[in-house]
Amino acid sequence: MEYRRLGKSGLELSALSFGSWVTFGQQIDEDTAFACMEAAYQAGVNFFDNAEAYAGGQAEIIMGNVIKRAGWKRSDLVISTKIFWGGKSPNHSGLSRKHLLEGIRASLARLQLDYVDLIFCHRPDLYTPIEETVWAMHYIVSNGLALYWGTSEWSAEQIRTAYDIARREHLIPPTMEQPEYNMFHRERVEKEYRRLYDEIGLGTTVWSPLAGGLLTGKYNEGIPEGSRATLKGYEWIRQRIESEEGRRNIEKVKQLAPIAQELGCTLAQLALA
């Protein structure tokens, strides 16, 4: 396994990480989760990603149980969670100081951990001043509930604003961003954030590197039964695949297949590489 520093931070992450979204708590049980995480760990993966929103907290409970059962050393793991969607009531979502503090404490309880390594603002919040969020994140990191904080799907301008506030107020600035990044979704990582890598040392972890499975070729001949596109509550994935753009992308996947074949790898491996 190759390990890379997260932006300019001192933290080292495996180049490939393990995500729990969709599958944990919805498609697979704890034994399967254990087998998957064990295989990833044995292959050198140290970064395991989660969020309070995944399966309504169930994904964190499963991951916490697996970590405990496996008996891995905490220092060998980089665990993340993301706060934003904690529930429907007022103050159960967004990036207010109240929800961030209550959210991370609830996540840690579900994960059975004292701290997470990474905490993300799962989306930008239209209703909370970025300044309040920066102060809350500074508190969370200063008090050891998380070691690094970052954002997910924030614009370059929002990230820069948070960074500037942190610098001005002598607070801990954001370390990383987790955008969608795959062969079909490149603008943010390759263009919008480009200056941030050098100028503030922004690190990235990414979501949907296989475009929800599209890049594996599994949807080339239609939507197979049992795939996530057939799950209740994920109808939007089916719509995305069946849309005009989805069909165009599937055509591209089919054209990529011979290249993967020549290189002696699968489409998924080509897409990740």
Partner 1 sequence: MKALDVVPKLTPAVMERIETILANKPEPEFDWRQI
- Nearest distance, CB of residue 247 and partner 1, angstroms: 15
Cα–Cα distance measured from residue 25 to residue 187, given in angstroms and rounded to the nearest whole number: 32
The answer to whether residue 273 forms part of the interface with partner 1 (CB under 8 A) is yes
- Nearest distance, CB of residue 16 and partner 1, angstroms: 6
What beta strand segments (E) does 45-143 contain?
47-49, 78-83, 116-121
- Nearest distance, CB of residue 192 and partner 1, angstroms: 8
DSSP-derived pairing of the beta strands 47-49 and 203-204: unpaired
Site for partner 1 in 161-190 (CB under 8 A): 183-184, 186-187, 190
Q: Is 54 one of the annotated active-site residues of the chain?
A: yes
Give me the residue label for tokens 């475009």. 211
CB nearer to partner 1: pick between 15 and 109: 15
Site for partner 1 in 91-110 (CB under 8 A): none
What region does 170 belong to: left with phi over 0, alpha with psi -120 to 50, or beta?
Answer: left
CB–CB of 82/150 below 8 Å?
A: no
- Considering only 112, 142, 143, 269, the residue that binds partner 1 (CB under 8 A) is 269
User: Which region, judged by CB under 8 A, interacts with partner 1, from 29-37, 81-89, 152-160, 261-269?
Assistant: 261-269
Cα–Cα distance measured from residue 116 to residue 78, given in angstroms and rounded to the nearest whole number: 7
Q: Which two tokens stand for residue 167?
A: 């610098």
Cα–Cα distance measured from residue 26 to residue 56, given in angstroms and rounded to the nearest whole number: 10
3-state helix vs strand vs coil in the chain, percent to 5: 45, 15, 40
DSSP string, 45-58: --EEE--TTGGGGH
Cα–Cα distance measured from residue 222 to residue 250, given in angstroms and rounded to the nearest whole number: 10
- Considering only 28, 156, 231, 268, the residue that binds partner 1 (CB under 8 A) is 268
What region does 94 belong to: left with phi over 0, alpha with psi -120 to 50, or beta?
Answer: left
User: Which region, judged by CB under 8 A, interacts with partner 1, from 90-98, 127-135, 196-204, 257-265?
Assistant: 257-265
Binding mask 194-233 for partner 1 (x = CB under 8 A): x---------------------------------------
- Catalytic pick among 41, 54, 163, 181: 54
Site for partner 1 in 236-255 (CB under 8 A): 252, 255
DSSP string, 169-191: TT-PPP-EE--B-BTTB-HIIII
The answer to whether residue 272 forms part of the interface with partner 1 (CB under 8 A) is yes
- Nearest distance, CB of residue 198 and partner 1, angstroms: 14
CB nearer to partner 1: pick between 53 and 260: 260
- Considering only 8, 12, 31, 43, the residue that binds partner 1 (CB under 8 A) is 43
The answer to whether residue 35 forms part of the interface with partner 1 (CB under 8 A) is no
Catalog residues that contact partner 1 under the rule CB under 8 A.
1-2, 15-16, 43-45, 183-184, 186-187, 190-191, 194, 252, 255-256, 259, 263, 265-266, 268-270, 272-273
Active-site positions? Answer: 54
